[in-house]
Each structure stands twice: as structure tokens, then as C-alpha cells.
Structure 1
């Protein structure tokens, strides 16, 4: 093996001399400072390869561990260990040799450890080493905790640190999971009850036909099922129709036992959505009061400053009845007018038509927030059930809500309006049937309204068939829609 020493003032010059001697395949064996500068021990890469092949051939011929050369083997180990130190101290650029020496040293250490290790036995698979400190063993998680961990792990597997941070929030997660499980349990029970009820309804043709008749009349599946679940089984078709109509009549609240609005008197504000007929209804009530107690017993106020011609329309109605219509722009003007008209038998306030989702609705309700004002909600009898529900919910007051059904002559089906009044426990004070003032006003008669709603209107594209009843009850019933007690 050709090994030479090169001495120079700096390590750069010594490395240059070594490369001049051995070429590009120069291997640096050592590098140390001396009194004269830097001493570098180097050899050629071919010499080291020749040495390795000779040692391997000798070992294969002898069949045992090859004999050590007098000086090559010890010097190689010493040089290898020294190169590690020199590489760390001087940061030499001979990366190829350093990698080679590291590889051989690691291989030899592994072989030595394998020889010293006892015979292998069945051992469990090693657990992954965690970078966190060892903690005390935690109790086994419950079923709810395992479900919570599975739900959290579904979108993305959290790291160990993230799990440790989420541990204090376990009670909140458990509560959410328990709420979800209870909701799922209620949903499953409701679905099974619905399927059971539908099976019984199919076996009972009278109950099935009555359900179909009520839904075709515009009643909601929630109210229809609540009534027909109490239908006696021994009734025939005609008796079941009378029984259902009787239940609807008893649950529809009207002012049959109370004085009519113009006889009761007081301050009434008519509220509702745009186009439901508030101004015409106010004129009809004013006409009834003026015809009974004289024109001087009625006061008219309008708050509608948005709609063009609103004040002129009410003023025209008032002029026809001999009553002056006043305009109030704000709450102070309204209070002044109420004080001026305090001696009147009946004061009617016509308000601006506001959609339930209009932000101006709050301003209107605050303007009418006076103790002497009673609110009358005007509902279009021909409106859709969802539209009526939204209007009732948005204009609902703290006291018992009083309503007037307008345009009953234009309604194809009265079922949705009667259904909304029953489910929301509204007090029906009257109905309007046309544009004539005040002739087209009718008191609220439950029997008449229910009979009109149950009349057959002919074939409609929106009427379901018997086979479609399952679709109406495929969703869970809205149990919060009917909070009152059903009088069956």
C-alpha cells in the first residue's frame, strides 16, 4: 500500500501536494498540525481497493478469519478512528472517504453486537418511540370516548401533541356525542313509529282515505296525523268525516263567545306582510263601527309613508264614511294622535306592509310598542302554509295573537290557513271576502270555515295519491309546530 506524508504551511497546500502525487482519486488518511505547519497522510484510492481484495482472498482460502497483516490492519483502525476526529475538528472536504469509514465502522459494530447478543427469542414488535416524556398509564377509555376519538380521527389523524392538547376538552366532546346519539335515537324511533303508523293506515282504508282527503284540502301532515291517530276504529266513512270536522271545529279558536271587534272597541293596529289587505280591512272595520255608533266614533291613523298613495287611499275610504284619516310619521306623532282621539269608540291604525325578513320590521314593532295598542295580524287566506307559518312567527307578540283572514274568496284551499290557526293557537276575529266596504266582512264561524275547507275542489296537479303518502311522512314530524293541546 503506497502511503505518503505531505507537509506544508497550510492544509490547502498539503492537499494540493497530495492531489499532485495521486491524482483525483486521492484519499486523505490523516491531517494534523505540526511545528512546521500541517502534515497530511494520503494514499491512492486504488491502493485501498487492492488491500481489501487481498484480505478477502486470503480469508476465502484459509476458511477462517484472515490473518492480520503486520502493519496494515492496526494502522487502518487507528487511522479510521482518527479520521472521524479530524473530520469534525478541521471540517475537511474529503467527504467520500469519511462516508466510507463511517459505513465500515457501523458495519463492524453491528457485527460485534450480533455476536454478543444471545439467541433470538419471540419478542413483541417494538413500539414506536415517542418524543414526549413517559406518563402514567391512563384508564381505558369508555365507549363514548372511543366514539369521540374515532370521530375526531376521521378527517385527519392528529399528532400525539394534538391529542394531548385535546384531552382537557373531553367532557365537552362527550356531551356533544351524547346529544348526537340521543338525536339519532329519537330520529330512529320516529321513523319506526311512522312506518308502523303507515302500515296500520294501509290496513285501514277509511283512515288512509281521510288522511288523503285532509292533505288534499291543504292541511299539514303534522296536524293530519295528530288527528287521525285518535280516530276510532269502529267508525264508517261518513262518521269519520264528521268526527274529523268536529275535531277541527273544536280546535279552531274564534271570537264566537266574545263581542265583535267594532263592538269591543279600543285601539287596533293592523300588521302583516305587503298586499294582504290591511288598508281595506281597516276601512271595513271603520265602516262597521260608523254604521253602528256613528262616524264620530271612529278614528283612522296611517303609518304607511313608504307606499305611494297609501295615505290617499285611506283618506278616500274615510271620506266615504265621513271619517278623517290622520298621518303619523313617528312615535311621538302617534302618541299625540292617540291622545287626540282618546274619546273615540274605535281607533284603527293602518301600518306599512313589511315582509317577515325585512329589517324594518323591528322599527315597526317598536313604534307600536304602546300599552293601549292591540295588534291584529292580517293573513292572506290563500297563502302557502310555509308563508303563513313564517308570518305568524315573525309578527308574534307576547300576548294571545289575534288574526284576521283576508281574501277568503280568492283562496282555492282554506286548509293551510285553518291549519296555521290551529297549530299556533291563534284567535280568529273575522274574515274578509271581497273589496266592498263594509259589506264584505264576515264573523269567524268555525263550522262554516271547516266545511268550506273540506269541500272537494276537483282534480289538481298538486293533489297526492294514496301511494304518495309515504313521501309526506318520510321526514320526522315537526313536534315544535304544535305546542297546544289537541282537543279530540
Structure 2
């Protein structure tokens, strides 16, 4: 195999030179954009066929044709090494063997054979070290270019497949795009769209998909306020755990009486955390205690054993905070009581944040989740996707700061309807109140 470099002011001119010089069988190994044009490195296994324009060169004497022949690999890279890759590899192997022999103890010199002089033997014993570093850098650069080219090709092929799918099933492509704009994840959107009946119009197919998503959402039939027991609310910081605890406690007090409700906080990290929940407890009229460790938590649960509902408030930590593990271990050690764990998440969080949050808190078996700040959402599809994909039951939703009014039992139909309304309000231009302004800006 021989390698040639070609230069041109643009890619078309350089490729034409490759075709004229090496023929159609040449292999393009790499290309590089230069300040004054384009550089192409091409390789070929055999001598290129001579075209009709260069037929007269066959009549040239042998010495002259040798002078006008194509430059070798040595001439291109500025090395005195062999011209073929096989010879280059053999040369590198010989160099490694020579270096290995030099590192070993020097043996006694052998007697000269066939009249070989000492100077010739010394010349033969000297290892020939090629410019390996330069060749390695060139190979690394070629690998990087090939990897970059492969990524671009994969992206182009994926786009072509998507276009082909849209041409074969235009309705499916339209509905998938519509669900993704509503906030539904790509995987879930493709899954539910695949169940769309073939003989249906766009309106009926859209209603079918909304009903299908509603059926996929799991809700807690026998919710916490109905069954009672011990429940712990956990989640990242700022999700509204303490306010949600107060809302649950207030509604339970209205239903069963304040003396049947107990509050416990294990949040010893946040400033004034106990004061905040004790203020809520004083307004509601229920008991509140603070636990520092697993032993104190067990003692308090024993003291509140006769209450219908016991709510445990926890500290908010990020998914990667080491203190989160300590808090989860504290809850795991309280094995004497049957504690139901609920994950509190903001409904307006990013999809990836929800995924990581659920993965971090699944160390403890989750009974369900509570979505807060529904009133602050511009899209509900992300929360719906996370709950469906992780098969996490949605127990309650909150849509404000009022205690206890802004707390509702989760309903799948309400969630899907709210998500569709938010999509129409904030995504579709023709349904927004600023359609005329948007149209003017577009013009």
C-alpha cells in the first residue's frame, strides 16, 4: 500500500486530483482543512492505471519515467523508512528486538564468519530506530477523524430513519412530536403511539393517546388520609415537604380530630426547621416531637402508637449529598414500625432531575410520590413520564401554599387533562393570548 497527499483550493479539486492520479480504487484515509485549501491523504494498493492523456509517458525512457513517478511514503513524511506498511511494521519489530537485546547482558562476541569485518558487524549491530512518535501521532489523528466521521454518519442515518418513519406513518410521527412537546419522554411517546389504531383520524387518535396515558398512571386508591398509619415524607431540598406535612396533618385533624394526629421531624440540619413545623402543629392543635437518631425515632413512634396518623418530616438533601444516605439509614434502622415512604417532588422539575431523584431514593421501598407546585408548571409531561416509567404511584398533588386547601388526592384523568391544557396554553401559538403579537414578530 502506498500513500499520497493531494492539495487543492477546495474538496472538489482535491478529489479530482486523487481520481486523475490514483484512479477510482483509491482509498481516502483522511482530509484536513488548511488555511489556503484542503489536504487529502489517499492510499492505493497497486499502480494506478494510466489514462489516455498520459499515454505518451510510456514512450519515455526508463530513467525519466522513474524521475516522474509518484513520491513514496518516505518522501511524503520526510523519513528514510520503507515504502510499504508491511516493511514499516517489520522495521518497528526489528527495532524493538534490538532494544530488548541491548537491555540484556552483553554476550561474548562471536567469531567472524565468512570474512565479515569488525566494522561491518558493528554497523549491523546498531539498531535502526524509526520516527515512531511521528507515526503514532499521525495514527492517533486518523483515529480521531474516523471516530468523528462515524458519529456524524450515525447522526445522519438516525435522521434518515426518522424521516423514513415519518413518510411511512405520517400520523404516528405527528402524534409523537405532539406528545414530546407536551413533555412526554421520547421512549414513552413512541411506545404509546405504536398502539394507535390505523383507521382513525388525528382528533380521535389524540384522545385515544390521552386516555391511554391516563390508564398508565398509577394512583393510590386507599390513600394515606383514609388508611392512616405512619408515613415519612422525603425528597430534595425545596420541594415543599414541611408544607405538605402540614396540609396532610390539617386535613387529617379535620377528619379524625387533632388528638389523633402526631408530627415528628428528623430535620436537624436546616435552621428553624423544628420551629416551622411546631408552628403548624400549634395552629392545627396536634402534638409534635423531634428525633435526633434512630433510637429517639423508635421511642417517639412508641409514644404515638395510639394515634391514627403519624407524619414524619425529613431534611431535604440533593441526590449526591452523603447526608442523604445517613438519613435513609436512620429510617431503615426503625424496623419495628411499619413506615410508608413517600417521595415529594416538584412537578416543574426537569425530566432528568426527576429520574435521578427517584433512583437515589429507591434505596427505600417507596409507597408512592407527591407532586408539588402544580400551579407553577408550564408542562406536566415530565412528571407524568417519570411516574409511569418508574411505576411509581401518585398519591397527592399540591397546587398552592394554602394550608390545608391546596392539597388534592391524585387523579389520573385530572393530571392528563392539566397536561393537555398546559400544552395548548404555552406551546400552541394559535391558542395563546399573544397570537397576534407572535404573528407580527414572525412577519
Residue 223 (structure 2) aligned to one of 260, 267, 272: 260
1:307 maps to which of 266, 270, 277: 270
Q: Quote the residue 1:390 is aligned against.
A: 356
Cα separation, 1, equivalents of 2:205 and 2:166: 14
In structure 2, what is the Cα distance between the partners aligned to 1:348 and 1:155?
64
- Partner secondary structure for residue 400 of structure 2: coil
1:368 is paired with a residue whose SS is helix
User: Matches of residues 402-421 of structure 1 in structure 2 within 5 Å?
Assistant: 402-421=368-387
- TM-score, normalised via structure 2 length: 0.60
Shift of 1:346: 0.9
Determine the C-alpha separation between the residues in 2 that align with 1:275 and 1:398.
Answer: 21
Over residues 251-295 of structure 1, what are the superposed CA-to-partner deviations in whole Å (9 max), with x where a residue is unaligned? Answer: 11111xx32211111111110011101001111111121111111
C-alpha deviation, 1:459, in angstroms = 5.2
Deviation, 1:209, is 2.5
For the Cα contact (< 8 Å) 2:372–2:399, is it kept in 1? Answer: yes
Correspondence 1:312-351 to 2 at 5 A = 312-351=275-314
2:208 to 243, 266, 277: 243
Q: Is the 8 A contact 1:214 1:454 kept in 2?
A: no
Q: Does 2:282 match 1:282?
A: no
Deviations 1:203-233 (A, max 9, x none): 5443232222211111111211222233233
| Residues 342 and 218 of structure 1, relative CA distance in 2, 3 Å threshold | same
CA distance in 2, matches of 1:270, 1:459: 32
Map Cα deviations across residues 11-43 of structure 1 (whole Å, 9 max, x no partner): xxxxxxxxxxxxxxxxxxxxxxxxxxxxxxxxx
Q: Counterpart in 2 of 1:225?
A: 190
Using the alignment, how far apart are the partners of 1:276 and 1:399 within structure 2? Answer: 20
User: Structure 1 residues 155 and 345, CA, compared in 2 at 3 Å: closer, same or farther?
Assistant: farther
Using the TM superposition, name which of 326-335 and 420-429 deviates more. 326-335
Comparing 437-446 with 203-212, which one deviates more in the overlay? Answer: 203-212
1:103-151 CA-partner distances (Å, limit 9, x unpaired): xxxxxxxxxxxxxxxxxxxxxx9x8765689xxxxxxxxxxxxxxxxxx
Gaps of 5+ in 1: 1-124, 134-152, 158-183, 463-488
Superposition RMSD in Å? 3.1
The correspondence of residues 104-183 of structure 1 with structure 2, limited to 5 A, is 130=97
> C-alpha distance in 2, partners of 1:202/1:261?
49
Distance 2:369 2:316 in 1: 15
CA distance in 2, matches of 1:225, 1:388: 20
Which residue is equivalent to 1:422? 388
State the alpha-carbon separation in 2 of the partners of residues 306 and 385 from structure 1: 28
- For residue 398 of structure 1, report the CA deviation from its aligned partner: 5.0
Do the aligned partners of residues 265 and 154 (structure 1) sit closer, same or farther apart at CA in structure 2, a change above 3 Å counting? farther
Instruction: Compute the displacement of 1:393 (Å).
Output: 0.9
Moved more, 411-420 or 209-218: 209-218
Distance 1:397 1:429 in 2: 19
CA contact (8 A) 2:378 2:426 kept: no
Distance 1:325 1:212, change over 3 A: same
1:210/1:241 contact within 8 Å kept: yes
CA pair 319-400 structure 1, distance change in 2 beyond 3 A = closer
Alpha-carbon deviation of 1:194?
A: 7.0
> Is the CA contact 1:266–1:345 (under 8 Å) kept in the aligned structure 2?
yes
Q: Does 1:366 align with 2:333?
A: no
User: By how many angstroms is 1:191 displaced?
Assistant: 8.5
Q: Which residue of 1 aligns with 2:412?
A: 446
Asked whether the 8 Å contact 1:433–1:440 carries over to 2, the reply is yes
Report the Cα offset of residue 330 of structure 1.
Answer: 1.6
Instruction: Give yes or no for contact 2:341–2:366 (8 Å, CA) kept in 1.
Output: no
CA offsets per residue over residues 323-348 of structure 1, 9 Å max, x none? 12111112221111111111111110
Partner of 2:171: 206
Determine the structure 2 residue equivalent to 1:113.
none
User: Which residue of 1 is the match for residue 234 of structure 2?
Assistant: 271
Whether the 8 Å CA contact 2:217–2:412 is kept in 1: the answer is yes
Residues 198 and 227 of structure 1: CA distance in aligned 2, closer, same or farther (over 3 Å): farther
User: Residues 464-483 of structure 1 correspond to what in structure 2 (within 5 A)?
Assistant: none
- SS of aligned partner of 2:396: strand
Deviation at 1:411, TM superposition (A): 1.1
Displacement of 1:154: 6.2
1:196 is aligned to 161
- Partner SS state of residue 376, structure 2: coil
Partner of 2:5: none
